[in-house]
Structure 1
């Protein structure tokens, strides 16, 4: 798919969503540095906006997403209400999961995001089940599961890939290779340079893509989604990107060479795409300022909503934990 096949409206939406994700997470950075604002561990994906935006934008509303602890970009690209997301991260009762999930275990079934999980590699077996259900019910929808390069070494991920390959399930595996698994470099935990090459062993196509090029991600996502949707079985996409902040906001990345950060900052998916759209005439400085202003307003409103929301009361402690068996 070339730039001529991506409409100017879609190009603008891709850019706007990346800006929204970046500014939303920058607000979380600021709030996490204040006392009593952001309980728990904040794990962000600053610098990876091209992957979440490009991949999710290629899906239909019926497609199911299973994601991991760096999920904000996936949720926002899916159209989840930002007010409810911010309130949940703040552990407030008005949050998408009533303040019980926080940032690491979100679920948003109303937008077909089955789950997020901070348990490394936990999403792939559950995504396998969702894809099996889609195949069993002869649906046209597919399931997409996101995981990092560190999780790619988990046995659960390999088992899911193997079964998906055997059963020809409509499951798209998306490895967001951001060069770091915690504080370990890729070569310290992975025996192969290219994770996508593992796809061949499981009878599925695999390909890498520049994760900081949102249109390249979108184009490959469209291709692989159609492959899965057509009954040909699973596929593996490896999106090559970079984690610009620590593993969590408590991690100051002392182990990262500042020159490496500087080099990847020059490949920022947002600034690169902004330059492209200016050159194409899709955007001008006035439109860019309007997008920034709109996003800043929306993020400020989400912060205010979260601050004004109450914490869940003790009466909600056991709600949502059990399903009452049906009688009759």
Structure 2
């Protein structure tokens, strides 16, 4: 696909959703965007260290997929994991504290930006190396089948959503795990966040078949392409894939066509992408588009939108204050959390 071409947005399909559900989608996307913008501020003020990869522009994918999951379902992320964690329900306080390296963070300050993890929220973690999380997600999906078929659990089968980028789709783990997932009919959704660039390599220059969803045909699972800038379009295909997985019919590969508005990381000057390309995608901002849809169709009024905006900003400010006031990990606990502790 030509990186300079913008995709026509699919018509919004409310899918019989009520107003509160749509407002939750808007709120979740807005929380992710504001959180990442604050991360950039804190990074440049020296409050965060190491590599920090922001998610700006891709919010419709995280919200559309994860908000369609149940609480007991699993999510496996990449090094661009802050917003995935927020969508899965990890409190902004705990994510921000983790980015500050504080003991109160969801990984007790041991993970930082690229290794956010939360067992209580079934968030399996962010992974620094591309493709590293796909086998982990496949294992999580396998245990769901094992619990159901071997341990005779009466609970509904848990579904795992596995996120990764376009660059990862050329790695061996991707193909091996697609094969296993189909062979064992695992309840997993493989979500390719095709933001058109693998660090500094344009997607259409790095793969012999740019349409990643078509690779599903080789393994016998559905491959779906969706406008990743349209949260309702993403949610619709997610709901279908989740139902398929939970019903025991196996995995789905979803390719969400999206774009990151910032550089690869906050250390990236972002000089490789043209201004024209970036401007074309920014014009299709998923948050602004969905906000206009809600207002233009009289689903909500401007006052309700402003209330959500204020609420989100309050959450971000609270998260910052919590992170700043939280204690650093102590030296005596250096080896803590390496192994499971006795209860």
TM-score bucket (shorter structure): over 0.9
Instruction: Give yes or no for contact 1:49–1:73 (8 Å, CA) kept in 2.
Output: yes
Give 3-state SS (helix, strand or coil) of 1:73's partner.
helix
Which residue in 2 is equivalent to 1:280?
297
CA distance in 1, matches of 2:248, 2:53: 35
Kept after mapping to 2: 8 A contact 1:12/1:282: no
Structure 1: distance between partners of 2:127 and 2:136: 11
Indicate which of 223, 236, 250 corresponds to 2:253: 236
Q: How many matched pairs?
A: 325
SS of residue in 1 equivalent to 2:28: helix
Q: Secondary structure at the match of 1:254?
A: coil
Is 1:21 the equivalent of 2:38? no
Question: Where does structure 1 lack aligned partners over 5 or more consecutive residues?
Answer: none
Shift, 1:4, TM fit:
5.0
State the partner residue of 1:166: 183
Cα 1:325–1:307 shift into 2, 3 Å: closer
Contact 2:167 2:197 in 1 (8 A): yes
How far apart are the structure 1 equivalents of 2:179 and 2:37?
38
Residue of structure 2 in register with 1:47 after alignment: 57
2: distance between equivalents of 1:167 and 1:60? 22
Q: Following TM superposition, by how much is the alpha carbon of 1:134 offset from its aligned partner in structure 2, in angstroms?
A: 0.5
Distance 2:212 2:98 in 1: 33
Question: Runs of 5+ in structure 2 lacking a partner?
Answer: 1-11, 149-155
Runs of 4 or more consecutive aligned structure 1 residues displaced over 3 Å after TM superposition: 323-326
Over 3 Å counting, the alpha-carbon distance change for 1:195 and 1:112 in structure 2 is: same
- In the superposition, the TM-score normalised over structure 2's length comes to 0.92
SS of structure 1 residue aligned to 2:300: coil
Equivalents in 2 of 1:282, 1:324: separation in Å? 50
RMSD, matched Cα = 1.4
Q: Are the equivalent residues in 1 in contact too, given 2:85–2:116 (CA < 8 A)?
A: no
TM-score relative to the length of structure 1: 0.97
Q: Would you say the 8 A contact 1:90–1:99 is kept in 2?
A: yes
What is the CA distance between 1:202 and its match in structure 2? 1.1
State the match for 1:117 in structure 2.
127
Residue pairs, 1:262-277, within 5 angstroms: 262-277=279-294
Could you tell me how far 1:299 is from its partner in structure 2?
0.3
Structure 2 counterpart SS, 1:113: coil
What residue is the counterpart of 2:21 in the other structure?
Answer: 10
Work out which of the residue numbers 66, 73, 78 in structure 2 matches 1:56: 66
In 2, Cα distance between equivalents of 1:154 and 1:294: 41
Instruction: Give the whole-Å Cα distance in 2 for the aligned partners of 1:107 and 1:20.
Output: 19
Q: CA deviation at 1:2?
A: 3.1
- Say whether residues 1:226 and 2:243 are aligned partners: yes
Equivalent in 193, 216, 226 of residue 176 of structure 1: 193
For residues 157-180 of structure 1, give each alpha carbon's deviation from its aligned partner in whole angstroms, at most 9, with x where no partner exists: 111111111111111100000001
1:256-275: CA deviations, max 9, x gaps?
10111111110000000001
